[in-house]
Amino acid sequence: MLLPFDTHVHTCYSPCARDLDGAGQPLASPERYLSRATELGLRAIVFTDHCVEDPSAPGAVPFYESSGLGVISALRGELAGFLLTDLCQVYLGCETETMSTEWVGITPRAAANLDFVLVPTTHYHLPGVPQPASFAPADVAEHMLIMLASVVSKGWLDSVAHPFCEAESLIGDLRRIYDALDKAWLTDILGFAAHNGVALEVNGSSVTSVYEPHYALVYREIVQLAKSLGVRFTFGSDAHDARNLGLTPEAETWIISAGLTMQDFLTPAQLQAKRGGM
Ligand SMILES: [Zn+2]
Ligand SMILES: [Zn+2]
């Protein structure tokens, strides 16, 4: 496996990862992930449950109602009960939300207590998330760049979750959106990302998803530009079920096709070290 780690993993502490097996047990329990990580030979995983610091704040996205910082402490408490081995390091981060260009769900203070903060900018399917003026390609393209620019300007955020990705049944053909992207502006934004140390995620689910059939093609172009500008990357499966942990052969093939090597990716240890320096 090209990358022996996974930095985007949802446990059953995320509201969207609560499916049960035939015996009524959660498919996304931390315990199941740890055992799957050992089977796969992963060296590190980062749990990134959905979390915003103040879900009851006016204007907060309703999906996060039960996803305050308590989620992180509950997961931390559960992990403390496990006998963790040196074989696979376990880190605690979160996938937060962009409520506006000025408001991201995790402040620098809360981020200091996390190993990793992953920020999505394109959860357009969630009511209350900032939306483009319309789903015409030019409007989506402009909005995606506005939101991306707002996140890469905030240096306490570590990586942008599944950049430019959303179901094409909602936002339209990603090739048309890519055509409408202002490439000079995109280049500027990626340059800022490199300068501020905000990474872009390669999301294993997104690059192989049937819901975004053109994402693999479009995001490859963006990744190549980003790499040429010095942007670093994180890799995450976005698993919501322990069976989907880690890098699949299909996602690995995509990474190689995009010209990325292991050195382009930040490891969980590097992410944690960056946090320690804040
Ligand atoms: Zn997401
Ligand atoms: Zn996710």
Question: Measured in angstroms, how far is the CA atom of residue 252 from the centroid of ligand 2?
Answer: 19
In sign, the C-alpha dihedral spanning 260, 264, 267, 272 is negative
Tokens of 196: 């501020």
pLDDT recorded at residue 93: 97
Q: Which ligand is nearest to the CA of 119?
A: 1
List of residues 6+ apart from 103 with CB closer than 8 A: 59
What is the pLDDT tens value at each position of the chain, 278 positions in all? 899 999 999 999 999 999 999 999 999 999 999 999 999 999 999 999 999 999 999 999 999 999 999 999 999 999 998 877 778 999 999 999 999 999 999 999 999 999 999 999 999 999 999 999 999 999 999 999 999 999 999 999 999 999 999 999 999 999 999 999 999 999 999 999 999 999 999 999 999 999 999 999 999 999 999 999 999 999 999 999 999 999 999 999 999 999 999 999 999 999 999 876 54
List of residues 6+ apart from 66 with CB closer than 8 A: 15, 55
Ion ligand 1: residues, CB within 5 A, are: 120, 161
Question: Measured in angstroms, how far is the CA atom of residue 161 from the centroid of ligand 1?
Answer: 6
Contact (CB, 8 A) for 104 and 97:
yes
Question: Measured in angstroms, how far is the CA atom of residue 273 from the centroid of ligand 1?
Answer: 24
Q: Is 246 helix (H, G, I), strand (E, B) or coil?
A: coil
Question: Measured in angstroms, how far is the CA atom of residue 10 from the centroid of ligand 1?
Answer: 10
Q: Which ligand is nearest to the CA of 10?
A: 2
Hey, what amino acid is at 1?
Answer: M
Strands of 233-236's sheet in order across:
5-9, 44-50, 89-95, 116-120, 159-161, 199-203, 233-236
Question: Measured in angstroms, how far is the CA atom of residue 9 from the centroid of ligand 2?
Answer: 7
Contact (CB, 8 A) for 100 and 130:
yes
Q: Which ligand is nearest to the CA of 236?
A: 2
pLDDT recorded at residue 208: 97
Question: Measured in angstroms, how far is the CA atom of residue 121 from the centroid of ligand 2?
Answer: 12
Q: Which ligand is nearest to the CA of 238?
A: 2
Q: Which ligand is nearest to the CA of 163?
A: 1
**Crossing angle (nearest 10°) for helices 183-196 and 215-228:** 60
pLDDT recorded at residue 277: 53
pLDDT recorded at residue 244: 98
Alpha carbons 24 and 226: distance in angstroms, whole number = 44
Domains and CATH numbers, the chain: 5-276 (3.20.20.140)
Alpha carbons 147 and 63: distance in angstroms, whole number = 19
Alpha carbons 66 and 166: distance in angstroms, whole number = 23
Q: Which ligand is nearest to the CA of 240?
A: 2
Buried b (16+ CB within 10 A) or exposed e, 169-206: eebbebebbbeebeeeebeebbebbbeebbbbbbbbbb
Question: Measured in angstroms, how far is the CA atom of residue 228 from the centroid of ligand 1?
Answer: 25
Q: Is 234 helix (H, G, I), strand (E, B) or coil?
A: strand
Question: Measured in angstroms, how far is the CA atom of residue 49 from the centroid of ligand 1?
Answer: 10
pLDDT recorded at residue 78: 95
pLDDT recorded at residue 140: 98
Question: Measured in angstroms, how far is the CA atom of residue 196 from the centroid of ligand 2?
Answer: 23
pLDDT recorded at residue 84: 73
- End-to-end CA distance of the chain: give it in Å, rounded: 32
Residue 65: how many other CB atoms lie within 10 Å = 12
Q: Is 243 helix (H, G, I), strand (E, B) or coil?
A: helix
Tell me the sheet residues that pair with 201. Answer: 234
Contact (CB, 8 A) for 159 and 170:
no
